[in-house]
Amino acid sequence: MIAVDRFTGGSKAMTVAGALGVLGLVLTIVGFVLDPQKAMFSYLFGFSYWLGIAVASIIMVAIFHTAKVKWITVLRRTMETMGSSVIFFAVLVLPILAGVKYLFPWVDAPNWVFPGTEGVKFTEVELHHLHHKHPYLNLTFFYIRQAIYFFTWIFVSSRLRGWSVQQDTSGELELTAKQRRFAPGSLPFLALTITFAAFDWLMTLTPLWQSTIFGVYYFCGSFLSAFCVVTIATVNAQGKDGYGSLVTTAHYHNLGKLMFAFTAFWAYIAFSQFFLIWAANLPEEAGWYRLRITGPWLPVSLSLLFGQFLLPFFTLLSRKLKLQPRRLSVVAVYILVMHAVDMYWLIWPALSPQGPSFHWTLITAFVGVGGIAVAGALWQTRGRYTVPVKDPYISESLRYVQP
């Protein structure tokens, strides 16, 4: 066991985050009263951004257990806590479930008027095509799927974190074995649920468009962002009983390499999706990209190419930067900002096809959902160790050096 006490700090940060979260949500409710549809799209933006990071953290923990990775042990508790915050999203999803008619055209397709148009509705042919999707796109099955998603995420995160926290007291080696047996079996369920959640919340904003790798696109952006959050949290966890002082430059270097790898992976998936749709040139598929790569939305698309891929890719090539935690955390913050641009690019054209626009609830919803998530994570951290102190591989993790 290492000489670290239970974490008793963070109360101020938790209070501030919680207050900002409540204030943001209250202001978003005000925005809903004034303009329901824009407020709901803004809420979906904030919700899908922060939830993706939470679910990606669960998947990260499961992958590292499956691969029996030892160097990550000192960082694992942060990822476990980020993942366990998904329980708060089970409540935060309720506004989306209640406001589906403002978001998804398939809910009442015959009467849906496309936002930003002069009363344009679905044609008879399009309604016929949507009818064929009714077995999947109906409210009953939609609500059932949401229950399945959150049950899976909460169950997996609570199991993995619960065993890890229990080991802090008991020190049982069997608890490590349980985590390593449980994690591989959970991965297919985690992968399927985040994929179909992306379909449900984001892809069905344009229900006649489909992409089989859309879920992977959402996942890899969220995965990249989760590594960024871990990096930022670690750099700032330097206070009393924080784990940041235990983390070496070798750990930061690995985090930087993972950020670099998933920057490239995000670009690969983004290009693969675009290229396949562009090459096929099918009318029901090409329109989604045509809206985004022509006209007023083109600058946003180009900003993702240069800002989400090229700039961080070449920046993270530097080994020296990855060995400097503060500079690496600045890059992490930048990538998180670009991920927000990416989510805006995915969601907002369905509301504003005539071009990029801004509504103040984008800020309030983002801060509201994020504040509640951060406050919840800090609340779960208080009174517990910030590292798995009796994990059999913690000493090896603390002594980790680059091979």
Q: Quick check: 228 pLDDT over 80?
A: yes
Has residue 303 been placed in a domain?
yes
Has residue 117 been placed in a domain?
no
Per the structure, the count of domains in the chain is 1
Structure confidence at residue 3 as a pLDDT band (50, 70, 90): low
Has residue 14 been placed in a domain?
yes
* Contact predicate 52/206, CB 8 Å: no
Give the mean pLDDT of 200-215. Answer: 94
Has residue 1 been placed in a domain?
no
Give the mean pLDDT of 306-331. Answer: 96
More confident residue, 10 or 146: 146
**What's 229's DSSP letter?**
H
Has residue 173 been placed in a domain?
yes
Q: Quick check: 2 pLDDT over 70?
A: no
pTM above 0.75, yes or no: yes
* Contact predicate 59/194, CB 8 Å: yes
Residue-number span of the structural domain to which 316 is assigned? 6-112+122-399
pLDDT digits (tens, 9 = 90+) for 138-159: 999 999 999 999 999 999 999 9
Q: Give the chain's mean pLDDT.
A: 94
More confident residue, 394 or 1: 394
- Res 323: pLDDT: 94
Structure confidence at residue 10 as a pLDDT band (50, 70, 90): confident
Q: Among 27-36, 179-188, 243-252, 362-371, whose mean pLDDT is lowest? A: 243-252
Q: Quick check: 1 pLDDT over 70?
A: no
More confident residue, 1 or 260: 260
Backbone angles phi, psi at 100, to 5 degrees: -60, -30
* Contact predicate 377/14, CB 8 Å: no
- Res 11: pLDDT: 84
Q: Quick check: 180 pLDDT over 80?
A: yes
DSSP H helical ranges for 171-213: 173-201
- The two structure tokens encoding residue 302: 């180009």
Closest CA relative to residue 360, chosen from 19, 22, 45, 4: 45
**Helix 73-84 / helix 249-280 crossing angle, nearest 10 deg:** 50
Q: Quick check: 241 pLDDT over 80?
A: no
CA distances for 109 relative to 114, 125, 140, 339, 393, angstroms: 10, 12, 16, 31, 55
More confident residue, 269 or 238: 269
pLDDT digits (tens, 9 = 90+) for 73-119: 999 999 999 999 999 999 999 999 999 999 999 999 999 999 988 88
- Res 8: pLDDT: 77
pLDDT digits (tens, 9 = 90+) for 383-401: 898 999 999 999 999 999 8
Q: Quick check: 239 pLDDT over 80?
A: no
DSSP state letters, 274-335: HHHHHHH--HHHHHHHHHHHSGGGHHHHHHIIIIIIIHHHHHTT-HHHHT-HHHHHHHHHHH
Q: Quick check: 9 pLDDT over 70?
A: yes
CA distances for 211 relative to 157, 216, 289, 352, angstroms: 28, 10, 11, 21
- The two structure tokens encoding residue 360: 């103040």
Q: Quick check: 245 pLDDT over 90?
A: no
Has residue 148 been placed in a domain?
yes
